[in-house]
Amino acid sequence: MSDYYEILGVPRDASPEQIKKAYRRLAREHHPDVAGTEGASDERFKDVSRAYEVLSNPEKRRMYDMGADPASPGGGMGGGFGFQDIFETFFGAAAGAGAQRGPIPRARRGQDALVRLDLDLAETTFGVHRDVQVDTAVVCPTCSGTCCRPGTSPRTCEVCGGRGSVQRVARSFLGQVMTSQPCAACHGFGTVIPEPCTECSGEGRVRSRRTLSVDVPAGVDTGTRIKLTGQGEVGPAGGPAGDVYLEVRERKHETFMRSGDDLHCNLPVPMTAAALGTVLVLDTLDGPREIDLRPGTQPGQVVTLKGLGVGRLHVGGRGDLHVHVEVQVPTSLDDEQAELVRRLAVLRGEERPEGRLSAANAGVFAKLRDKLAGR
């Protein structure tokens, strides 16, 4: 195949203007009427004209760059550029491969299923055994996934001969091209079902409700997904089952707030108990537990109970329970109580306290932010 770029003396990325300019120069130089001779100049002029005819046409130039010569009879395939290359270029490599891959398997994998699992805090903390109902597809009990009425079997497709595809000859600018496409009679399966199962209508599967048992490990949280392999819906024609994913959603607890593996709660304490110290009994997820408040306990002080938080998923052990003390200041006092408080203030020298400011900690701003946000 001739090198048209070399004939015109232009690079392979030449612009249309460069190609036109080169052609005009060469045409004037080699035209028989201008050159005044026949033979070599005449043939040279024909080569230049042929090169310009191809390279000046965007479509013909694209074909030429891919190895075809549109100016030669039959498309003029260049060396090393065979029919398979042409087919894959214009119809895709996948199409060429698909023609040789054979019939499509009728049995295919079923889809996965996503099921939400609502759990209480105690269940996510300690783990729990749950039965979950799932609406899914199971193998047809009548045909056992064959899709055929009992006593019958699939029949080889007479149109494609069991290949699952048919070949057709299509005409194109390259000439005749052989294409392959799925057989319309068998939909690419290579077989047809002459007598479909009446139970599943030839699907090989039916809808059913199943109960799945699952052991939920300790430490799961909202968004955690538990995979049940092979428990999803059965595929068409009794194909392999997909998977079931249980997505956990933890219900909000009325007392405890979870943060990772730790739990937090607030403990209202009378002013007198905070000042004098006391022992209180708390109802935790593990049952009653004593908490020792030292004399002089301050508002916002945190008492940590080790190992009373949520179980750690995949690691073992448990987080902690953080108890945030809220000192309650009485809002109404009778005369006797007010007198006692005044006497205490006198004894402590606090009857006229100074208005001295101190830096606010981050907790104060966090509470203020939450209050403004309505939380």
- Residue set of the binding site for Zn(2+): 140, 143, 157, 160, 183, 186, 197, 200
**Whether the Cβ atoms of residue 301 and residue 357 lie closer than 8 Å to each other:** no
Question: Degrees (nearest 5) of the Cα angle 199, 203, 209?
Answer: 70
* Cα–Cα distance, 248 to 37 (Å, whole number): 91
CA 115 to chain centre: 17
Phi, psi of 199 (to 5 degrees): -70, -45
Alpha helices of the chain — where are they, by DSSP H?
A: 4-8, 16-30, 32-35, 40-55, 58-65, 83-91, 93-98, 121-126, 271-276, 335-347, 362-372
Q: And the tokens for 330?
A: 């009485």
**Whether the Cβ atoms of residue 82 and residue 204 lie closer than 8 Å to each other:** no
Sign for the pseudo-dihedral over CA of 116, 121, 125, 130: negative
Tell me the three state secondary structure of residue 333. Answer: coil
- Residue keyed to tokens 């050159």: 35
Q: 340: buried, middle or exposed (CB in 10 Å: 19+, 13-18, 0-12)?
A: exposed
- Residue keyed to tokens 């509470």: 367
**Whether the Cβ atoms of residue 192 and residue 169 lie closer than 8 Å to each other:** no
Which one-letter amino acid corresponds to residue 243?
Answer: D
Alpha carbon dihedral 102, 103, 106, 111, in 10-degree steps, equals 60
107 Cβ neighbours under 8 A, 6+ residues apart: 145, 204, 235, 236, 237, 238, 239, 240
Pick out the residues of the known binding site. Answer: 140, 143, 157, 160, 183, 186, 197, 200
Total length of the chain: 375
CA 133 to chain centre: 25
Tell me the three state secondary structure of residue 357. Answer: coil
